[in-house]
Structure 1
Amino acid sequence: MANLGKKILSAFVEVNDDKKPETEKQPSNKEGLPKTEPVPTVSSTTANTSYTTTANSSKFKEYFEKLFREANLPGPDYFEYSKMLEAMQAVPDEQVRFITAFAGLSVQGLDKQKLMSTAAQYLQLLETDAQNFHNTVDAALQEKVVEKKRQMEEKEKRIQQLTQEISALQNDLLNTQAEIKENEAKIEANTGGYKLESEAMKNRITRDIEKIKNYIQ
């Protein structure tokens, strides 16, 4: 199941896988048609509207052509009938095309009941394939969009927190710078005052010593 999920998801976006893919034979369902594979589509990193409506149009046509061809049962059925209708597009009358195509295949054993039943099987094949397609889309959206959005929101919150922390640190820096200047000014003022008073005291003591020598015998 894990390998199948990775295979489905890889139809939309790049998925790293150390193991090389192995070719697997498609199992048949109860109607005799093979189980469908996820629809291949463009990577989410390069998808855009114009690309989807042009280049992908041919890609999806080839995909469904391959899907029907691999599901084709032995003998003539709706698949051969639809291909014959396509080949007769030059015939303007639609009823003539439908009748003529049926007549051409009826000689090979195709009857109306088989034509209708196999058409219904191909329709069921499309419905099953569409379900696989939507499951793949949901998985891709969850991993490549929803999860990425959640990660982006977390990073945005972290950026806001860091911005607030940076702002607080800048305010602390400005306050510290102002405090440093204030302290430097106080220290310089005190140092100057200390030196002046110290010199004055030394000069006073020196004068007193000289006076003591002279005045006291």
Structure 2
Amino acid sequence: MADSEPGIGKKILSFFINESTEPTQVKPVSETPAEQAKSVPAATVPNVAGTANVDRKFVEHFVDLLEKANLPGPDYFEFKQALQSMDSLELGEEKKFQAAWASFKAMGGIKDNSILTTSANQYLSILGKDRESFLKDVDRAIKERVGSLTDEVKKLEENNTAYAQEIANLQKKIDDNKNRLGQISGEVAEQSSKLNANRQSFEITYQSFVEQINSDLTKINQYLK
């Protein structure tokens, strides 16, 4: 492979996101003629299918995961690369798949498409396991950060019931606890919003990868018989 040819990670990236999207331009406050706008990568990027904007950090996470899991020898990703090379040709989708399959088979004397379906399913399995692990971490984080605050709310409310019976001498404690409850309400909303937003961003990116691979699997099974 020539040094100028992109690595497998770069190739995998191009399979799932549209790299042609221009990054956000940020101009300095005091700009002189010699100064140029700085390019800052956008936080989200459109997927190849154009169906969703996916989180860049999760795109990079999944690409790194798939790059490390890349199986030796020609498999789904090498076929995907061959398929991508057909984009410049004026061919219908079926013809593109068939032409890419012919090119792929020439790599190593491959006779049937089982190597494609098997390897693609292995990558789906890797993505699925990573998702399970991520969601467990999110649930654990929510329980640790939000659950403890919820428990504190319950305890303070119970204490307030007891303090109310003592009236005057406990009034200050009740007021102090009410102030803390107001703070906790803001903390719960903030933590929940951040964690759920992160979960949603992960899910959108995950679904984008899975849909792309499943779409290819459907077409492989449809066209490469």
Query: With structure 1 as the length reference, what TM-score do the two structures score?
Result: 0.45
> Which of structures 1 and 2 has the bigger CA Rg?
1
Query: With structure 2 as the length reference, what TM-score do the two structures score?
Result: 0.44
Higher strand share: 2
